[in-house]
Amino acid sequence: MASIIKPRTLGILTRSERRRVGASFIVSAFGMFDLSHPDHFEGDQALWMAAAEGVAPGSFLDIGMPKPCAEILVGGKACPAGGVATPAMLLDYAVGPVSKRIAVVGDRYWTLDGRGMSDPVPFTAMPLDPARAFGGPGHPTNPGGLGYRAHDRMVAGELVALPNLEDIPHLVGDPLDNPPPILFGPGDPTSPERRRYAGTYDQAWLDELAPALPDDADPRLFLIGPEDQRLPGYLTGDEPYRLIGFAADTPGLEGRLPGFRVRAFLGMEGRPNELVELPMVIDTLWLMAGLRRGILIYRAAQAVADIDGLDVRQVMLAYERITDPPRPYEHYLETLARRTDPENAHKTALDDRPLSPLRSEEIDAEKLAARIAYNEADRDRRHAASVFMMERQLEKSGLPPSLWPEPPPPPPVTMIFPTPEEFESGDIDYGALFDGLDAERKRIEETVAQIEAEAEKTRAALEGIDFTKEDGGLDALLASLGGDPIENPLKAVDSALAAFKPPEKDPLAPEGSHEKLLDALTEAGSFREKLAAAQVGPDDETLLERAIARFRRLPEGSPLYDVRQAMANLTDFKIPGADDLGVLLDEIAAPGSPKPPPPRPPQPASATIAEGLAIPELPGDKRAEISGKLDELDATLRSSFPKLAGREGSALDALLADLAPPDVEPLPSDPRAAIAAAEARIGSTVKDAEAELDAMEASYEEGMTQARRSTPGAMFPTDALSPASARRFGEVALGDKIASRSFAGCDLAGIDLAGADLSGWDLTGVFLEKSDLRGTRLAGAKMTQATLTEADLTGADLSGVDLSEANLSKARLNFARLDGARLDNARAFETDFSDASLRGASLADLSIMMAKFTRTDFTAARLSSLSFLRSPCENTIFDDAVLERCQLIEANLVGVRFRNATMRECAFLVVEATGADFTSADLAKVSFLGGCGLERACFDGAWAPGTSWHKAKMAGATFKRAVFDGAVFSEADVSGANLRLVSLRGARLDSTRLSASDLVGACLHEAQMRRTDLTGARLRGASLYGANMADAQLDAADFTKADLGLTRLSLSTAHKQGGRDAA
């Protein structure tokens, strides 16, 4: 099977039609556009949805065969202006030379009393269906219509309906009227008008060509619309159109077709680094009334050797504006190489730019501006909600509003996501989006690592505070908080003691005074040892007191409390023995000893510069230049250091004064002055440090709060409480809050609340890292933005709890009950949900990484935009759940259950799901890719039309009464499977292994089963009408009472396949 490479704004169908020699490989490309703004193609998903809605029941969008000329087809519903019900309206359309005017009338009946027809019933939408046009049973061209042979039927007493759709020149006015039906969509493929082009099917055809088309088949056979809607040639793609009645909100539409050329390329077997370009033409235009959409169909064919087209390895589509020059062949060859590069294909696979029209810089700029505006508005909404929650917490705290801190500014937008309109239209550069996501993920990881590193640095600094050591530790703490460096104040004492030299022993001094002086100096020098002896690490009781203080928001609970205490002990610090030292010095000092002159006070820098500028020899222009630079320096300093902005005088003088080292110059003859200066310096330094801490504590706590809420590992408590203390902490906390039933915003890290009843409590923003919550009853509690990192919630009851934006990383939720809980936008890195119950829970945009879901119960839960990447999900239950836009990638799904589950836009990539149960599941928009392991899986009663199971391993699976119409099972292994009464209408089973499978009563209408292995398969009573079983392996297959009408069985003709016998 050929791989498809295309932009998401083009749909594609391929088919291989046998010819006398080889086959014709046909490529059909579909582009849908808005009839009111026909400047771009919309996404292919929207295209197929519009086609399903716009094409009449029982009809078809296209048969995938080349047409000899273009035709216009109309579908959908006629809609009155403004959606107001009306009894009749005009539907009018003109495209190039094709035009038609249709009278659309509400339901009417011929009256039996001879008064004619009844008044039309007003309508808001009328299907443009042949069943609404003139015709009826026995009519040669429209047997499903209304009003045919009305007179005869009325005579028989039948109530006869009139047609709703009429040709204006041939309006019905009498029961005997027999106008031609007004048709505008696909006609009956078996009608005589179509059959006359089918060619000759005789013995020669059977002997030489079957199942290929006869040589005399006319290409007009593939024109499916009425003859009056055909063009003499093909469409160019920019024809003008005029439409009336095609949209309720826009009664009249005028414009031109989008003006795109589609280019198609084939990569052929045995021809690497080469592409074959096909000459595409536009042979069909669909106009979908009511949907305001048009669909252009481009088509081309290429002769191939293999009758199934298996020698085509890649099909690549692109489109360009017809006003732009065609892109060179080399551009598409390079695009193919990038798309098929194993290392980068995951990024380039969704990058549509190389396959889409070039956009002008103005359009790109407009789209970027719209994305930025959308993301900034979304950021502002989130920020406003965050500020609101913060103010609510401040209001609850009782703090006056005048003392509230300024809310933080909105964070910058670091990731530009597409707008909802771009998601809806499919106009998204996924390659750039993935690059942005990778960059954002890397930025977040770096930020988290930086936060953790800074937090670790601060914790280390807090633990390292020790004024008894030479290097202190205060500098390290302030540096970790972003503060200015402050010298350890005890260094001043060291300097004073080191500078003092004791005098020689005086024979006239009192006896023993000199020895006492030396003893006093020794005692003064031992102050560090005495401080060290006073410092003792916190014991368990102290840790409990600190935890309670944090919970009660007391100063003792601050992470900086120990630092403050250490500095407080130094505020009034006195050098041991200093008083005795002074007395002894007075006794020793010689009378009349000379006093040193007082030092000259230093002159400000600005004054010194002013003296220099006043020198007469300095030229005036040089003086002006220096003065200007000084003014510039002053302005720069004030802008760089906001605290200088309000200071009087020179900013340079103020800065130098702040940076000046302390003046500690003790005199050897009077060390008392030196010691007093050192003690004063200690008090001054402590006050400076306290001021620094006061200024930074709020920002530190805010940064720590954000880090705790976002990091995947617990940051608190830094020292674990003993089990007994953790339990006492829980008793105290419950006693404090039992009346208010609120732990909102409280710091309860490390607490033991196991078995407590907190049902209905408010725990918004609570911190519960490493907490023991085993068996805790939290039903109905509010826990938005709660931090539960590394908490143990085994067996806890969280039924109905709102955990939106909570951090559950590394938490244990084994056997926990989260029925009806809400986990939207929460974090769950390495979280263990094994054996948990999330019945009826909501999980939207939950961030999951390496989480465990073994035996988790998601019954009736709603899961949206989740990625289960390599997550263990063995025996997990998703019964009756709704999954939207979920990806299960390389996940272990052995024994998983999806009974009655509904999935939308979900993908299973390389999963192992042996024994999985999809009984009665709705899998209509699900893809199983990468050869998923589904051995012995159960799909009984499943609804899975159009799904993909390419190369899936499904041996021994069961599909009883399931619907897999149009599904793709090519190259899958479905051997030994139970497919009784399965519906596989139009399914692709090419090269599928169905050996020893049970297909009794299966519906295989028009299924493609070429080269299918049916060895030993049981097809009793199966319907294979119109199925293509050419070259299938049928050894020992049982077709008892099977319907083989028009079934293509193994070839017995002598025509050749690319020069080889195909028989």
- Residues 899-918 have pLDDT tens digits of 999 998 888 877 889 999 99
Phi/psi at 852 (nearest 5 deg)?
Answer: -110, 130
pLDDT digits (tens, 9 = 90+) for 926-967: 888 767 889 999 999 999 998 888 889 999 999 999 999 988
pLDDT class for 414, splitting at 50, 70, 90? confident
Same domain, 393 and 261: no
Least confident of 382-396, 481-495, 529-543, 806-820: 481-495
Q: Is residue 1038 part of a domain?
A: yes
User: Looking at the predicted structure, is the pLDDT value of residue 596 above 90?
Assistant: no
Same domain, 983 and 1035: yes
Report the pLDDT value the prediction gives residue 671, as an integer from 0 to 100: 47
User: Looking at the predicted structure, is the pLDDT value of residue 429 above 70?
Assistant: no
Tokens found for residue 714: 């617990």
User: Looking at the predicted structure, is the pLDDT value of residue 432 above 70?
Assistant: no
Phi/psi at 577 (nearest 5 deg)?
Answer: 80, 10
Tokens found for residue 651: 């900013």
520 within 8 A of 535, measured Cβ to Cβ:
no
Q: What is the mean pLDDT of the chain?
A: 80
pLDDT class for 777, splitting at 50, 70, 90? very high
Domain end (from 394, 412, 428): 428
DSSP state of 772: B
Question: Residue range 686-691: average pLDDT?
Answer: 61
- How far apart CA 875 and CA 617 sit, in angstroms, is 94
Output the pTM of the full model: 0.55
Report the pLDDT value the prediction gives residue 223, as an integer from 0 to 100: 93
Percent over 90 (pLDDT), the chain: 41
Same domain, 690 and 663: no
What does the DSSP assignment read for 657-709?
Answer: HHHPPP----BTTBHHHHHHHHHHHHHHHHHHHHHHHHHHHHHHHHHHHHHHH
Same domain, 394 and 494: no
User: Looking at the predicted structure, is the pLDDT value of residue 712 above 90?
Assistant: no
pLDDT class for 539, splitting at 50, 70, 90? confident
Same domain, 305 and 385: no
pLDDT class for 446, splitting at 50, 70, 90? confident
Domain end (from 297, 324, 355): 355
- How far apart CA 501 and CA 518 sit, in angstroms, is 11
How many domains are contained in the chain? 6
Report the pLDDT value the prediction gives residue 478, as an integer from 0 to 100: 47
Q: Is residue 934 part of a domain?
A: no
Same domain, 624 and 541: no
- What range defines the domain where residue 384 resides? 361-428
Same domain, 351 and 379: no
- Report the chain's terminal Cα–Cα distance, integer Å: 22
Tokens found for residue 504: 């020689």
Residue 87: strand pairing partners = none
Q: Is residue 372 part of a domain?
A: yes
User: Looking at the predicted structure, is the pLDDT value of residue 238 above 90?
Assistant: yes
Same domain, 138 and 27: no
Report the pLDDT value the prediction gives residue 660, as an integer from 0 to 100: 47
pLDDT class for 29, splitting at 50, 70, 90? very high
User: pLDDT: is 936 or 343 the higher one?
Assistant: 936
135 within 8 A of 141, measured Cβ to Cβ:
yes
User: Looking at the predicted structure, is the pLDDT value of residue 58 above 90?
Assistant: no
- How far apart CA 837 and CA 213 sit, in angstroms, is 60
565 within 8 A of 559, measured Cβ to Cβ:
no
Q: Are strands 842-844 and 862-864 parallel, antiparallel or unpaired?
A: parallel
Q: Is residue 1053 part of a domain?
A: yes
Report the pLDDT value the prediction gives residue 521, as an integer from 0 to 100: 57
Least confident of 174-188, 193-207, 399-413, 968-982: 399-413
Task: Write down the residue that tokens 């049928």 correspond to.
Answer: 1034
Question: Residue range 698-716: average pLDDT?
Answer: 72
Q: Is residue 923 part of a domain?
A: no
Residue spans of beta strands (DSSP E) within 452-526? none
Same domain, 147 and 63: no
Q: Are strands 847-849 and 827-829 parallel, antiparallel or unpaired?
A: parallel
Question: Residue range 611-631: average pLDDT?
Answer: 65
Q: Name residues whose C-beta falls within 8 Å of residue 745's C-beta, 6 or more positions apart in sequence.
A: 393, 396, 397, 764, 765, 766
User: Looking at the predicted structure, is the pLDDT value of residue 736 above 90?
Assistant: no
Report the pLDDT value the prediction gives residue 217, as an integer from 0 to 100: 92
| Max intra-chain CA distance, the chain | 155
Residue 123: strand pairing partners = 86
308 within 8 A of 16, measured Cβ to Cβ:
yes
Phi/psi at 269 (nearest 5 deg)?
Answer: -60, 135
pLDDT digits (tens, 9 = 90+) for 502-514: 656 656 556 666 5
Q: Is residue 157 part of a domain?
A: yes
User: Looking at the predicted structure, is the pLDDT value of residue 489 above 70?
Assistant: no
pLDDT digits (tens, 9 = 90+) for 841-861: 999 888 787 789 999 999 999
Domain end (from 355, 383, 404): 355
Question: Residue range 311-332: average pLDDT?
Answer: 94
Strand order across the 165-167 sheet: 165-167, 98-105, 88-95, 240-244, 252-256
Q: Is residue 64 part of a domain?
A: yes
User: Looking at the predicted structure, is the pLDDT value of residue 587 above 90?
Assistant: no
Q: Name residues whose C-beta falls within 8 Å of residue 643's C-beta, 6 or more positions apart in sequence.
A: none
- How far apart CA 922 and CA 650 sit, in angstroms, is 77
Same domain, 635 and 680: no
Tokens found for residue 999: 């297909």
Strand order across the 126-127 sheet: 11-18, 23-34, 293-304, 281-289, 71-78, 126-127
User: pLDDT: is 422 or 569 the higher one?
Assistant: 422
Phi/psi at 161 (nearest 5 deg)?
Answer: -85, 145
Question: Residue range 214-219: average pLDDT?
Answer: 92
pLDDT class for 1053, splitting at 50, 70, 90? very low
Least confident of 686-695, 750-759, 873-882, 1003-1012: 686-695
- How far apart CA 877 and CA 859 sit, in angstroms, is 6
DSSP state of 945: T
pLDDT digits (tens, 9 = 90+) for 811-841: 999 999 999 999 998 988 889 999 999 999 9
How big, in percent rounded to 5, are the helix, strand and coil portions of the chain?
Answer: 30, 20, 50
User: pLDDT: is 446 or 434 the higher one?
Assistant: 446
Tokens found for residue 561: 């409390």
Report the pLDDT value the prediction gives residue 762, as an integer from 0 to 100: 93
Query: What CATH number corresponds to the domain at position 1031?
Result: 2.160.20.80
Same domain, 531 and 645: no
Least confident of 43-47, 86-90, 355-359, 539-543: 539-543
- How far apart CA 834 and CA 815 sit, in angstroms, is 7
User: Looking at the predicted structure, is the pLDDT value of residue 1048 above 90?
Assistant: no
Radius of gyration of the chain (CA): 43
User: pLDDT: is 713 or 875 the higher one?
Assistant: 875
Same domain, 114 and 27: no
Tokens found for residue 641: 């250091």
Strand, helix or coil at 151? helix
